[in-house]
């Protein structure tokens, strides 16, 4: 069991597995939580997917714009 050096909460096992040297929990991390946006491009056999990681604020803006765009079509 590892404790966060900032807030003293327990660091989840999954975070420690992914980042064995981390000393802070997700809440205290300067990186913060991220959301993923999947972008599909290309045509036919050349179709591909990209995943873009963004902040929660950018994700909210993106999905707001996508909803607005889709309702106008």
Using one digit for the tens of pLDDT, what is the confidence trace for 30-40?
776 788 888 88
Looking at residue 45, its pLDDT comes to 92
Integer Cα distance of 33 and 59 in angstroms: 11
Which of 23, 68, 72 is CA-nearest to residue 15?
A: 23
Integer Cα distance of 52 and 37 in angstroms: 5
Using one digit for the tens of pLDDT, what is the confidence trace for 56-72?
888 888 888 666 555 54
Residue 33 structure tokens: 């939580």
Using one digit for the tens of pLDDT, what is the confidence trace for 5-26?
999 999 999 999 999 999 999 8
The helix (H) or strand (E) run that includes residue 34 is strand 34-41
């Amino acid at each position: 069991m590892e404790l966060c050096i900032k807030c003293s909460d327990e660091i989840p096992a999954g975070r420690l597995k992914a980042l064995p040297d981390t000393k802070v929990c997700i809440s205290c991390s300067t990186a913060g939580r991220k959301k993923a946006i999947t972008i599909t491009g290309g045509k036919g056999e050349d179709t591909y997917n990209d995943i873009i990681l963004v902040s929660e604020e950018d994700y909210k803006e993106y999905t707001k714009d996508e909803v607005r765009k889709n309702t106008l079509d």
